[in-house]
Amino acid sequence: MNAIPFKYVIRVFRYLKPHWRLAAASIVVTMLSAAAALLTPWTLKIVVDHVLERQPLPPILARALGTVGTDRISLLVIAVCGGLAVTLLLNSLHVVSNYINTRIDQFITLDFRSQMFLHAQRLSLAYHERRRSGMLIYMINSQGDAPAALIMTVPMLMESALTLVGMLWISFAMDPWIALASLAVVPFLYYSVGYYASHIQNRLQRVLSLEGESLSVIHESLSIMRVIVAFGREEHEFKRFRTQTTHAVTERVKITVRQTVFSLVVNMITAIGTSVVLGIGAYQVIQGRLTVGQMLVVIAYIAAVYKPLEAISFTIGSLQDRFISLKNTFELLDTVPDIRDEPGAQAMQRAKGHLQWEGVKFAYPGRTNTLSDISFEVKPGQVVGIVGQTGAGKSTLVSLLPRFYDITGGRILLDGVDIRKILLRSLRDQVSVVLQEPLLFSGTIAENIRYGRLDATDAEIVEAAKCANAHDFIMNLPQKYQTMLGERGAAVSGGERQRISIARAFLKDAPILILDEPTSSVDSKTEAVILDALDRLMAGRTTFMIAHRLSTLNNADIILVLQQGQLVEKGTQAELLALGKHYKQLYDAQVGLAREKATPTVEQSTAIA
Ligand code: ADP
């Protein structure tokens, strides 16, 4: 069984540590169960040999029962009642062990899943961009029970092993040949399990990843529902899902066939073993070396031994599935977050908001020079406008500050401290982000705003909403602050969603603000309302504002112009206009466009006339 990676086994058992009391109880109950199982066939032996055949009782029993033991009917009653008592004991032990084992199983699974969930959240955005989230969901949800499943095979294996030893010992005492014959099948069983394990592992890995893939398809489709509906691509998505899942199902069926053939082989091996033991046993009875009752005990034992042996084989066989899950899940847990606290990183109190970018370089994996050599300085409370064509690197530039990605060269200083020397949590506490597409989750409006500061009171939420010009429209909704939002906030308009996210930023009250084109997807009337709220939000905070409409930058203290990842100009609006280069060109293009829109063209004038 060299296919079993033992390093995983050792690691898995560490999860048992917090539940050691339960584990100890489980071992005790398992031992009692194994002992009780040994008693089971003896009723039959007493009835056959001593009640029916009238053979003398063994000395221990004869002494224990005294004169009662000599009366056949009394002996029959005692044997039958004894048998019933043993069955009752066995079943009671079963109930107890089921309870204990289920608790261990469920709590270990809970611990493990929680650990994976927490870890997945710690991994960087870059990691999540590379991985499909459906796969992660599948891993956490469906493969997260692997450690517990592995641990739970132990009581089963232990009970089987104890029973096996006890039974062989007793059988040996009665007739060594039968005991030896019963063991003859063990190597065959072992070999078939080994064969199964080594031939099926790769297939299982494939099936598991295909099944994860199916979940990814569902997850991705549901998250782009609007696009699917808009393009009427329901049928296309359905086919994609169907094709993918059919592939997974076909592979699963093929594997199940192999597993069934395997179980057939195992059943045949044990059936042969039982037949051989029956043959030898009956022969020994004919020869007078064994009583009928003893033979029955041995046959019962053999059947009882093969059952756990079969179970062990299956468990070990299905363990392959678990080991693959374990490998995947441990790989996830072993993925070191590429953005993490550096040794010696310190927490930071509320920052003043003084920022220095010194020769900052950054590139996404596989791309070169997304940003190159960016240097500028922002004083506390200043407003920085960032302009440039789509793809110039504006969003990337601001996402480096809260360390969504780590820079590859240069440094960024916040209040004179390299941001990599500030505890990540504390750094992110200093920054509020308002995106072009506000991210709201399903829950009430109040809950969405409270996400800015989880311990905020209702009054503070209302206050934040007021500052964000959101209070009035919220009060007009039927459920007011308790209105439920859909997964992406579908129940309210784009401008309203934006104001909810601004209220959230008010509540967070961070000294640095990042506004990534927050008004580019709303009409100009709504824009005015949002800009009014933003003006209030920006007061006293260092603000980065990525702007599409240059008119929103009239009050910026400094404007950065990006072009293909280079900082080509920086200065105030007046300075840049006077410079007459990149910014001026962008400005003229927009002003020209605005004029064109305002003045009807010749054709329009004719049409109006
Ligand atoms: P802007 O905000 O100015 O439109 P971005 O900062 O979004 O520009 O993008 C800058 C460049 O980086 C573009 O070429 C874009 O394709 C690329 N880019 C943006 N995000 C990623 C990402 N997550 N992975 C790889 N490349 C990216």
Q: Give me the CATH number covering residue 239.
A: 1.20.1560.10
Substitution candidate for ligand 1 out of 124, 387, 396 with most atoms within 8 A of CB: 396
What Å distances lie between residue 246 and 196, 233, 603, CA to CA?
A: 25, 20, 57
Question: Residue 314: what pLDDT?
Answer: 64
> Which structural domain range is residue 299 located in?
4-333
User: Which atom of ligand 1 is least distant from the CA of 389?
Assistant: 3
Ligand 1 centroid to Cα of residue 170, in Å, is 75
The Cα 401–Cα 428 span in angstroms is 9
List the structure tokens of 348. 């930071």
Cα dihedral 549/554/556/557 (nearest 10):
150
Q: Which atom of ligand 1 is nearest to the CA of 126?
A: 23
Query: Residue whose CA is closest, atom 5 of ligand 1?
Result: 393
Tally of domains in the chain: 1
393 C-alpha vs ligand 1 centroid, how far in Å?
6
Name the residue at shortest CA distance from atom 18 of ligand 1: 364
Closest-lying ligand 1 atom to the alpha carbon of residue 516 = 2
Structure tokens at 333: 């847990």
Interior/surface letters 294-316, b for 16+ CB within 10 angstroms, e for the rest: bbbbbbbbbebbbebbbebbbbb
**Which residues have C-beta within 8 Å of that of residue 333, sequence separation ≥ 6?**
115, 116, 119
Q: Which amino acid is at 288?
A: G
Model-wide pTM > 0.85:
no
Distance CA 233, CA 136 (A): 26
Is residue 361 domain-resident? Answer: no
Interatomic CA distance for residues 416 and 425, integer angstroms: 18
pLDDT at 1: 41
How far does residue 398's CA lie from ligand 1's centre (Å)? Answer: 12
Tell whether 555 is covered by a domain: no
Contacts of 477 (CB under 8 A, 6+ apart): 445, 483, 492
Residue type at position 173: A
Q: Which residues contact 386 (CB under 8 A, 6 or more apart)?
A: 394, 397, 398, 544, 545, 546, 547, 559, 560, 562
d(CA 567, CA 480): 45
Q: Give the pLDDT score at 316.
A: 67
Pocket probe mutation, ligand 1, options 127, 130, 367, 390, max atoms within 8 Å of Cβ: 367
Half-sphere exposure of 356 (CA within 13 A, CB side): 8
pLDDT at position 535 is: 82
Using CA atoms, how far apart are residues 350 and 287, in angstroms rounded to an integer?
A: 94
Nearest CA to ligand 1 atom 10: 393
Q: What is the mean pLDDT of each run of 10 residues along the chain (609 residues)?
A: 64 89 92 87 86 82 78 87 92 94 93 92 80 80 85 82 82 83 80 71 77 83 81 86 91 87 84 87 89 85 73 67 83 85 85 88 84 89 89 89 88 89 88 82 85 87 86 85 70 81 87 84 76 82 86 84 87 82 80 57 39
53 burial (CB, 10 Å; 0-12 / 13-18 / 19+) is exposed
Q: Which amino acid residue places its CA nearest to atom 7 of ligand 1?
A: 395
What is the pLDDT, as a whole number, of residue 606?
38
Report yes or no: 326 and 150 within 8 Å, Cβ to Cβ. Answer: yes
Q: Is residue 301 included in any domain, yes or no?
A: yes
40 near 296, Cβ under 8 Å? no
Distance (Å) from CA 436 to ligand 1 centroid:
15
Which amino acid residue places its CA nearest to atom 15 of ligand 1? 391
pLDDT of res. 497: 83
Q: How far apart are CA 297 and CA 287, in angstroms?
A: 18
Instruction: Look at residue 76 and tell me if it is in a domain.
Output: yes
**Under a CB-based contact definition with an 8 Å cutoff, are residues 118 and 68 in contact?**
no
Taking CA atoms only, the protein residue closest to ligand 1 atom 27 is: 364
* Within-domain flag for 340: no
CA of 240 to the centre of ligand 1 (A): 28
Pocket test for ligand 1, best of 370, 390, 394 (most atoms within 8 A of CB): 370
Residues paired with 378 in a beta bridge = 355
Q: For residue 69, count other CB atoms closer than 10 A to its CB.
A: 18
Nearest-angstrom CA–CA distance, 586 and 592:
10
Give the residue among 138, 151, 139, 145 at the shortest CA–CA distance from 12: 151
Residues with CB under 6 A from ligand 1: 129, 364, 367, 370, 388, 390-396
Given the CA of residue 366, which atom of ligand 1 is nearest to it?
Answer: 25
Is the four-CA dihedral 495, 499, 500, 504 of positive or negative sign?
positive
- Counting from 1 in the atom list of ligand 1, the atom nearest the Cα of 392 is 3
pLDDT value of position 342 = 83
- If you measure from the C-alpha of residue 557 to the centroid of ligand 1, how many angstroms do you get, rounded to a whole number? 25
**Per-residue pLDDT tens for 204-258?**
778 888 888 888 888 888 878 878 888 888 888 889 889 989 999 999 899 888 8
d(CA 431, ligand 1 centre) in Å: 21
Distance 444 CA to ligand 1 centre (A): 33
Token look-up 């693959």 returns 324
* CA 385 to ligand 1 center in whole angstroms: 18
User: 17 CA to middle of ligand 1, Å?
Assistant: 46
Which of the listed residues 129, 364, 372, 548 should we mutate to test ligand 1's pocket, taking the one with most ligand atoms within 8 A of CB? Answer: 364
Confidence (pLDDT) at 602:
41
CA distance linking residue 585 with residue 77, whole number of Å:
107
Residue 230 lies in a domain: yes
400 in a structural domain: no
403 Cα to the center of ligand 1, angstroms: 15
Report the side by side order of strands in the sheet with 512-516: 417-418, 409-414, 355-362, 371-378, 566-571, 558-563, 383-388, 542-546, 512-516, 431-434
Please tell me whether residue 403 adopts helix, strand or coil conformation.
Answer: coil
Please name the residue whose Cα sits nearest to atom 24 of ligand 1. 364
Please name which of 432, 447, 454, 448 lies closest in space to residue 350, comparing C-alpha atoms.
432
- Measured from the Cα of 562, ligand 1's closest atom is 3
Residue having the nearest C-alpha atom to atom 22 of ligand 1: 364
User: CB-hemisphere CA count at 13 Å for 279?
Assistant: 8
Q: Is residue 388 part of a domain?
A: no
What pLDDT shows up at residue 250? 92
- A 10 A CB-CB count for 329 gives 23
Tokens of 368: 């070169």
